[in-house]
Chain A
C-alpha cells in the first residue's frame, strides 16, 4: 500500500492551511473533508476579524479557499473518515470506502455543535451506530431510523434503505437528494433513543417510532472515537505548542484543540502543524 507523508482530516481553515503548507513543502498527502469545506464557514454571514478581509462573508471566503486549493492542484476527498489508528511508526486510516496509510496525521475535525441524544451513549453498539456504510448490512430486513446532520446523510439513508425493510429519515438540515421509496421522511425533531438492552424506538417531539436501530450521521466524529488512545480534555484534543498530540506523529489543529473558535487561530494552527509534520518527517528520515 502507498504510504503518504501525511493525511489531513478536515477541510476547515486548519486543514486547508495545513494542506497548502504541505504542498509548498513538497510532501505527499491526502486531504479529507466535506463538499462545503466547513459548515460553520458557509453559514457565517459576515466576518470582521479576518486580517486583510474586513466584512467578508463566509461564502466569499469559502469561494477563495476553493480557488486557492485549485490553484495549487490540491484535491479534496469527500470520503468520510471513520478511524485513524496508530500502528507504531505509521497510521492506518479507514474511510467509508477504503483504507490508507500515512506516516503522520493532522486532525482538523472542528467541533460538532450537535449534542448527544439521550440514550445515545448507553445504546451505542446496541442498535445505535455512527457509520451507516459499516453497519447497515446488520439491519437486513429490519426497521431503522437515520438522523442526518450532514449533506451526505441522505445518500447514506438511501444506502441503508437498500438493505433494510424500512427506513425513517430525520433530517436535521436541509438536503437535496431524492429518497428511495421505502424511506419515510420524519420532520419532527429527534428527542430520545429508547430501549432497555437494545434500541427499541426513536422518540421525536410528536411521536414514538418503533425501530431496530438508529444511525446518527453528524458532520464530525468525537476525537476519542475517531482516534483510539488520543488524549482528550473537556472534549478537546490535547496538543503542545507544535500541535503534537500524545501520539507521536499525530498532530491536531483548529477548533478540535480548543477555544477560541476563530478562523485565524485555526489557520495558524494548521500551518504550525504542517511545519511540525515536515520537521517530524525530516527527523525520521535522518534517523534511518
Chain B
C-alpha cells in the first residue's frame, strides 16, 4: 500500500483506477490489526483498485479535510470524489463486498 502525503494525495485519488485510502496512526491498535487485512485485499483487487494509506499524525490537514474523527476510517474515491466510507474495523468479506459494489 502506497504511503500518501499532502503532496501525493490528490494525484492518487484522481487516477483512472478507483482508490481506497486508509486513514490510520501508529498508536491506533485496531489500525495495526486492520492493516494486514487491507494489504491482503490490495493483492486480491490488484489492477481494479489502488490502495493507499494516510498517517493522520503526519497529515492532520488531510484528516480534517475529510472529517476523520475515528480511525481506522477507509474511503473509496473515484475520480477524486469519495463514493463510500467505512468507519472502524470491519470483516474482510464486508470490506470486499462494499468496495466491489461500487466498482
Chain A residue numbers with a CB within 8 Å of B70 are: 124-125, 129, 131, 134-135, 138
Question: Are A137 and B57 in contact (CB-based, < 8 A)?
Answer: yes
Question: Are B89 and A85 in contact (CB-based, < 8 A)?
Answer: yes
Per a CB cutoff under 8 Å, which of B30, B37, B87 touches A125? B87
Question: Are A82 and B30 in contact (CB-based, < 8 A)?
Answer: yes
**Interface range, A side:** 20 to 34
Q: Which of B27, B37, B63, B89 has the most CB of A within 10 A?
A: B89
Question: Are B33 and A83 in contact (CB-based, < 8 A)?
Answer: yes
Interface-forming stretch among A22-30, A58-66, A95-103, A170-178?
A: A95-103
Chain A residue numbers with a CB within 8 Å of B37 are: 85
Chain B residue numbers with a CB within 8 Å of A225 are: 88
Question: Nearest CB to that of A198 among chain B residues?
Answer: B67
Whether B71 is near chain A, meaning CB under 8 Å from some CB there, is yes
Complex CA–CA separation, A127 to B28 (angstroms): 17
Complex CA–CA separation, A235 to B57 (angstroms): 35
Complex CA–CA separation, A95 to B33 (angstroms): 11
Chain B residue numbers with a CB within 8 Å of A190 are: none
Whether A94 is near chain B, meaning CB under 8 Å from some CB there, is yes
Per a CB cutoff under 8 Å, which of A86, A95, A138 touches B69? A138
Chain B residue numbers with a CB within 8 Å of A96 are: 29
Complex CA–CA separation, A35 to B88 (angstroms): 27
Within 8 A of A (CB), among B60-103: 60, 63, 67-71, 73, 87-91, 93-94
Whether A205 is near chain B, meaning CB under 8 Å from some CB there, is no
Whether B14 is near chain A, meaning CB under 8 Å from some CB there, is no
Question: Are A229 and B29 in contact (CB-based, < 8 A)?
Answer: no
A-B contact count (CB 8 A): 73
Chain A residue numbers with a CB within 8 Å of B60 are: 140
Complex CA–CA separation, A131 to B71 (angstroms): 10
Chain B residue numbers with a CB within 8 Å of A249 are: none
Chain B residue numbers with a CB within 8 Å of A94 are: 29-30, 32-33
Chain A residue numbers with a CB within 8 Å of B94 are: 228-229
Whether A92 is near chain B, meaning CB under 8 Å from some CB there, is yes
Q: Is the interface of A mostly helix, strand, loop or mixed?
A: mixed
Whether B19 is near chain A, meaning CB under 8 Å from some CB there, is no
Question: Are A95 and B57 in contact (CB-based, < 8 A)?
Answer: no
Complex CA–CA separation, A138 to B68 (angstroms): 8
Are A85 and B69 CB-contacts (below 8 A) given A124-B87, A134-B28, A229-B93? Answer: no
Per a CB cutoff under 8 Å, which of B33, B57, B71 touches A85? B33
Task: Give a binary string over A118-157; 1 marks a CB under 8 Å from any B CB, 0 the rest.
Answer: 0000001111110100110111100000000000000000
Are A137 and B69 CB-contacts (below 8 A) given A125-B87, A228-B94, A229-B91? Answer: no
Q: Which of A86, A92, A138, A225 has the most CB of B within 10 A?
A: A138
Complex CA–CA separation, A99 to B87 (angstroms): 20
Chain A residue numbers with a CB within 8 Å of B33 are: 83, 85, 92, 94, 99
Within 8 A of A (CB), among B32-76: 32-34, 37, 56-57, 60, 63, 67-71, 73
Query: Which residues of A come within 8 Å of B, CB atoms?
Result: 82-83, 85-86, 92, 94-99, 124-129, 131, 134-135, 137-140, 197-199, 213, 225, 228-229
Query: Which residues of B come within 8 Å of A, CB atoms?
Result: 25, 27-30, 32-34, 37, 56-57, 60, 63, 67-71, 73, 87-91, 93-94
